[in-house]
Amino acid sequence: MGFVRGLKCRECAKTYPVEALYVCEFCFGSLEVDYDYEAIKKVISHKRIESGPNTLWRYRDLLPIDGEPTVGFYSGFTPLVKATRLADELGVRELYIKDDSVCHPTLSFKDRVVAVALSKARELGFDTVACASTGNLANAVSAHGAWAGFKRYIFIPHDLEQAKIVGTLVYAPNLITVRGNYDDVNRLCSEIAAKYHWGFVNINLRPYYAEGSKTFGFEVAEQLGWKTPDHLVCPAASGSLLVKIWKGFKEFEKLGLIGSVKTKLHCAQAQGCSPISDSILNKTDIKPVKPKTIAKSLAIGNPADGYYAKDAVSASKGSAAVVNDAEIVEGIQLLAQAEGIFTETAGGVTVASAKKLIEQGKIGKNDSVVIAITGNGLKTQEAIQGSLGQALEIGPHLKSFEEKVLAEASR
């Protein structure tokens, strides 16, 4: 038994039934899940959550399904790593990595949203699910959809990283590469979704799908001992994750699960695709761009939740950063070498942005900071291959070891 009353337009508050709808037919505003918070407040507690499964479904009272979850039984509840060495490196007192690079089963935060979207797709009676993806979502819909027995149509730009293609095809979905960038793929999928009755997780199922991202924020708050950090640095593509982390924090506050939220949310984007960060830093409207960055999972030039992300950053009194390709590569290596965590390019953007925000004094040296790491470095190896050290090759005998390895070490 769930607590969803229906869908509600974020702009004009018109209400809609629980169906595969995503946009208000009157003002084109975003439809949001409308919960009965009074009823939730009567049942929810730290104890109830803590006695739930070690997955995102421990927050089920705040997720938009009516029956039992049917997908994602092992997803979410990823480690919040206390990053002491990186804290020293960046010059900040208290630093944590929320590490979705190890989210089950496809190693990105998209396993959260897909767990919710496919559970909802089943409730709504879909047998075919689909998505427009920059790669991580393609992996997640393909994998979870295989497990749950859905027919799957996955649409991606034609130039994605090899590992994201292999990590999709292995689950044998229908994979369609589109000659164009992600924004082209997204427009095409919006048109397909308008014509064919499929469950597009990030189009007509988007109100439900996006709620899954709240669990990233819920976990941060719970794992910090039921409080939120002074700062959270979040990468942005469509901006949805940032919006939902903020929503999650505010829901916990409203339900009395945490005290008043004082977290500043900071938006991290890559140079070459920074429409949201630019609008925050320059106090302008969101201007769409043609993406050009190695951070392909963030390469959305026309971000759906751009305005809402900007609003969330502003409500939290946070800021934004933009980092270039070299800083992204450096960010990936910094995190790997300080904390042993190998993140993808999006994570490089986030680490480099955190570094910049600390240097600029936008994050205070005595504050607590969480860096949102959303994906795994094994998927974007191309981006750093040219900037790593080389392996040392030796013969299979002691002499070669001594001559080459020890000699090298003593230099």
> Which residues of this chain interact with other proteins, rule CB under 8 A?
11, 22-31, 132, 180, 182-184, 186-187, 189-191, 193-195, 202-203, 206, 237-240, 285-288, 290, 300, 302-305, 307
Q: Which is nearer to other proteins, 209 or 252 (CB)?
A: 209
The residue with tokens 């208290």 is 94
Q: Which is nearer to other proteins, 24 or 369 (CB)?
A: 24
Least separation in angstroms between CB 294 and other proteins: 19
Q: Which is nearer to other proteins, 28 or 73 (CB)?
A: 28
Q: Do 193 and 199 form a contact (C-beta atoms < 8 A)?
A: no
Q: Is the dihedral of CA 14, 19, 25, 31 positive or negative?
A: positive
Q: Which is nearer to other proteins, 363 or 373 (CB)?
A: 373
Q: Which is nearer to other proteins, 78 or 181 (CB)?
A: 181
DSSP, collapsed to helix, strand or coil, labels residue 60 as: helix
Q: Which is nearer to other proteins, 190 or 324 (CB)?
A: 190
d(CA 224, CA 63): 21
Least separation in angstroms between CB 400 and other proteins: 52
d(CA 23, CA 340): 42
d(CA 161, CA 154): 15
Give whole-number Cα distances, 98 to 12, 103, 109, in Å.
Answer: 35, 11, 10
The residue with tokens 């990936």 is 332
Least separation in angstroms between CB 298 and other proteins: 10
Least separation in angstroms between CB 286 and other proteins: 8
Q: Do 80 and 102 form a contact (C-beta atoms < 8 A)?
A: no
Least separation in angstroms between CB 192 and other proteins: 11
Least separation in angstroms between CB 164 and other proteins: 16
Six token digits for residue 346: 């999006």
DSSP, collapsed to helix, strand or coil, labels residue 15 as: strand
CA angle 322, 101, 180 (to 5 degrees): 60
Least separation in angstroms between CB 171 and other proteins: 21
Q: Which is nearer to other proteins, 287 or 317 (CB)?
A: 287
Least separation in angstroms between CB 243 and other proteins: 10
SS3 percent helix, strand, coil of the chain, rounded to 5, is 45, 15, 40
Residue 104's nearest CA partner among 379, 376, 345 is: 376
Least separation in angstroms between CB 26 and other proteins: 7
The residue with tokens 């991580």 is 136
d(CA 27, CA 11): 7
Q: What is the dihedral of CA 29, 372, 378, 59, to 10 degrees?
A: -70
The residue with tokens 């229908």 is 174
Least separation in angstroms between CB 125 and other proteins: 18
Q: Which is nearer to other proteins, 14 or 85 (CB)?
A: 14
Q: Which is nearer to other proteins, 46 or 290 (CB)?
A: 290
Q: Which is nearer to other proteins, 27 or 405 (CB)?
A: 27
Q: Do 109 and 216 form a contact (C-beta atoms < 8 A)?
A: yes
How many Cα atoms are found within 13 Å in the side-chain-facing hemisphere of 258? 23
Diameter over CA atoms, the chain: 78
